[in-house]
Copies of this chain bind each other. A is one copy, B any other.
C-alpha cells in the first residue's frame, strides 16, 4: 500500500511539474560536462561557425577576444564588484574588439550605417536599461547602464538616447569609428546577391555579444550588445535591447541571447527561461534547451547563454556553432566555438 502512495504521488507530481523534461540534455551544456560553480558566461554570436571554415589565425583571434572579455569580467568578480560591473567589463572588451558584431566592427544596415543596440538588467530588483538605434556612443552597454541608473526610463532610442549619453559624459565617437573594411565588403557582397533569404543564412547575422554573471553576493546580472542584422532595414530593432526577449536577469537566472532576433522577440525567449524555472521547476539546462527548441520549431536559429543562482550554466544553440566562454570561481577559463 505504501508503494501505491509513492507511485501516485510521483505520478501526480510528474503530471503537473515536468512537461518538458524530455528535452533536457539535447543541446550543448557545460553543466553536463562540469559541475564546478561558474561566475561568468559570455557569447560572441552564433552561426555557421565550423572547424572547416576557420583558419588557425582566425580561431586564435576569436579565442583571445573571448579570453580578454572573460578576464576583464573575472577581475571585477575577484575584487568583489557587482554582477553589473562584471557584465559591463566583459561586454566593453567585446564591443571594442572589431571581430564581434557589437560596437566597433558591427554589421551595416541596408543603408550602410551602424545602428547599435544594447541592454542590461540587474536581477535583485529587476531594474533594467536599454538603448537602440544609436550611432555615436562608443560603448552602447555603458549607455544602457546609464539609462537604468540615471533615467526614469528603461529604453531610449536614437537621438534621445545619444543626447542622454552625452549628458552623462559617455565617450561619443564619429559614426565612422564603428566601420570596418570587412563589414563594408560584407554588405556589398550581400547587396549584390539581393536576396534576403541568402542573407539570413549568413553567419555574421547572428554576431551579437552578451554576458551573464553571478557575483559574490549571489546576485545575477545580464547584458547584451549588438549591431543587429546585416542589411537590416533602417529603424529595425531586434531582440537584444528588448528586456525579456534578448536579455533578462531575475532571481532564478540571467540570460543573454544571440540569433535571429525576430524569433526571440516572438518567444519572449530570455524571460521564458526564468518562467519555466520559477513556475515549472525546470533546471537552467532544461529551460534554455526548451526555448531553443521552440525557436527552432518556428524556423528560427541562434543560441543563448544562461547562469542560474547556484552557478550552473547552459549554452544551448541550434546553429553550427557559437562563440562562447565561461569562467569558474577559481578562475578556470573555458572557451568553445563548435558543436
Q: Which residues of A contact B (CB under 8 A)?
A: 1, 4-5, 8-9, 12-13, 15-17, 19, 121, 125-128, 132-133, 151-161, 163-164, 196, 200, 232-238, 242-245, 248, 261-262, 265-268, 271-272, 275-276, 279-281, 298
A-B contact pairs, 30 of them (CB 8 A): A4-B5, A12-B13, A13-B16, A127-B266, A128-B265, A133-B157, A152-B233, A152-B262, A154-B261, A155-B237, A155-B242, A156-B233, A156-B235, A160-B234, A160-B236, A161-B235, A163-B235, A164-B235, A242-B243, A243-B265, A243-B266, A243-B268, A244-B271, A248-B268, A268-B271, A271-B275, A275-B276, A279-B279, A279-B280, A280-B280
CB distance from A276 to the nearest CB of B (A): 6
Known: A12-B13, A152-B233, A163-B235. 9 other contacts (CB 8 A): A1-B1, A9-B12, A13-B15, A16-B17, A155-B238, A157-B235, A243-B268, A248-B268, A275-B275
CA distance A151 to B196 in the complex (A): 11
Q: Let me know if A157 and B154 touch, CB within 8 A.
A: no
CA distance A127 to B263 in the complex (A): 9
From B4, B233, B276, contact of A279 by CB (8 A): B276
CA distance A164 to B242 in the complex (A): 21
Q: Let me know if A156 and B8 touch, CB within 8 A.
A: no
From B155, B233, B267, contact of A265 by CB (8 A): B155
CA distance A15 to B13 in the complex (A): 9
Measured between beta carbons, the chain B residues less than 8 angstroms from A275 are: 271-272, 275-276, 279
CB distance from A285 to the nearest CB of B (A): 16
Q: Let me know if A159 and B235 touch, CB within 8 A.
A: yes
Residue in B closest to A127 when the chains form the complex, CB atoms: B266
Q: Let me know if B156 and A266 touch, CB within 8 A.
A: no
Measured between beta carbons, the chain B residues less than 8 angstroms from A15 are: 13
Q: Let me know if A244 and B262 touch, CB within 8 A.
A: no
CB distance from A242 to the nearest CB of B (A): 6
Q: Let me know if A154 and B266 touch, CB within 8 A.
A: yes
CA distance A132 to B5 in the complex (A): 56
CA distance A77 to B22 in the complex (A): 40
